[in-house]
Structure 1
């Protein structure tokens, strides 16, 4: 690993960051390369999940609220955090970045694309700001019975990091039913492939933001990917979205 990345990893403190660092990142990278997504081990305790979920009602922490039905994005609601980010959100974002960075660079190399992402998250966010993407893109989402999220991509400008993370804050099967995370991949010259996954409380799901490299007869091709959430049948499903590029 690049020494600068190792140093960045050491400077991120906190129990949650240590749990992220303790993951089997070789195996996670293999799974993301194969399927476009991979589930981490538990990175937040139930108490930490409840603490984050409870922030939703503290409206002063957020810069905007989006009603999905109003915008025909599905049904439900989400809020974008404002600055400064809650400490736990900031910690998680910084902890994931150095582990996702090698995957991002590998994908760029396979697809013959530029890899503009520097070793530190702070430098990359500064580059986003220089490109006019100056608003934080970290999201707290809330779904109730009957809510769902249409297939989409979280793109906010030209500066894009190719991976992101969603963290489950409620217990599937106990706090809610339904609400599977959905990933639909448009395969080169083939039918689309779908993945559905329950998101356990306190676990993160790493997934591709826009597209990913897949092997084809001509070498590597970019396979477009969108994600969403199936209909929640009962209860309340809340998640934290960690996006590694800022918004315009």
Structure 2
């Protein structure tokens, strides 16, 4: 696979804001996930991926095979996030917030998310979810991630983002991002996405509104990663609620 690189400039917040958010919102409505344009340069991706070996930047490491989550490892950052990771999280929140509130309205659910990310995280901490949930994942040959949801308590933001840090077809093969959706009174539907380096995939944390003859219904979704066949795959996970 040949990697294409867009010339990027300006702060990360501007790169996120320049996305076609009307189209992204439509794709999230239709599929529960949406691929962004390029957000990070190859050098920025390499810089974040290289942090994986800096144990001082992380609060814990999870061996997926040990917990029967799959195979491979991921690490949770401390609250002292790298600048780029912090900037990405703060840039995405206001763009995702209108979608989250719209989904809650359709489903007749509360929308507890305030205008600022800091206010929302304060509410998470008051509820006992006070650990960083930002994730750096590393997969090697044969590694995979079981279908799951990143829900760590009652305080949940309905959307999250994963950013590819290595080039598919160049640095690794396999390792597609997987999603399954449990449809009302029907068989589940699956999808796979190849995540280009520096691009983000916005996806449903737990469920999304699905139109039915009786109105709006919850469409539960799970995500995972297919088996990496060769090379090494790193991704950055941005979660907009903290963990218990």
User: Any stretches of 5+ residues in structure 1 without a counterpart?
Assistant: 1-13
Cα distance in structure 2, aligned partners of 1:180 and 1:16: 25
Aligned length: 235
Q: What do the CA deviations read for 1:36-56 (whole angstroms, capped 9, x no partner)?
A: 000000000000000000000
* RMSD, aligned CA: 0.6
Where does 1:128-139 land on structure 2 (aligned, <5 Å)?
128-139=124-135
Cα distance in structure 1, aligned partners of 2:105 and 2:12: 31
Aligned to 1:119: 115
Cα distance in structure 1, aligned partners of 2:47 and 2:92: 20
Aligned to 1:40: 36
Cα distance in structure 2, aligned partners of 1:75 and 1:226: 17
SS at match of 1:246: coil
Does residue 163 in structure 1 map to residue 159 in structure 2?
yes
Q: What do the CA deviations read for 1:19-51 (whole angstroms, capped 9, x no partner)?
A: 101000000000010000000000000000000
SS at match of 1:18: helix
SS at match of 1:83: coil
Cα distance in structure 1, aligned partners of 2:35 and 2:12: 16
Deviation of 1:217 after TM superposition, in Å, equals 1.4
Aligned to 1:188: 184
Aligned to 1:221: 217
Deviation of 1:57 after TM superposition, in Å, equals 0.2
SS at match of 1:206: strand
Q: How does the TM-score come out when normalised to structure 2? A: 0.96
Aligned to 1:82: 78
Deviation of 1:83 after TM superposition, in Å, equals 2.0
Cα distance in structure 2, aligned partners of 1:115 and 1:214: 17
Deviation of 1:16 after TM superposition, in Å, equals 1.6
Structure 1 stretches of at least 4 aligned residues deviating more than 6 Å after TM superposition:
none
Cα distance in structure 1, aligned partners of 2:147 and 2:80: 29
SS at match of 2:223: strand
Q: What do the CA deviations read for 1:69-109 (whole angstroms, capped 9, x no partner)?
A: 00000000000001211111000000000010001000000
SS at match of 1:149: strand
Does residue 94 in structure 1 map to residue 126 in structure 2?
no
Cα distance in structure 1, aligned partners of 2:11 and 2:194: 24
SS at match of 1:164: strand
Cα distance in structure 1, aligned partners of 2:187 and 2:212: 14
Q: How does the TM-score come out when normalised to structure 1? A: 0.94
SS at match of 1:189: coil
Given candidates 66, 72, 75, the residue that maps to 1:70 is 66
User: Any stretches of 5+ residues in structure 2 without a counterpart?
Assistant: 1-9
SS at match of 1:137: coil
SS at match of 2:112: coil
Does residue 53 in structure 1 map to residue 52 in structure 2?
no
Cα distance in structure 2, aligned partners of 1:114 and 1:17: 28
Q: What do the CA deviations read for 1:130-185 (whole angstroms, capped 9, x no partner)?
A: 10000110000000000000000000000000000000000000000000000000
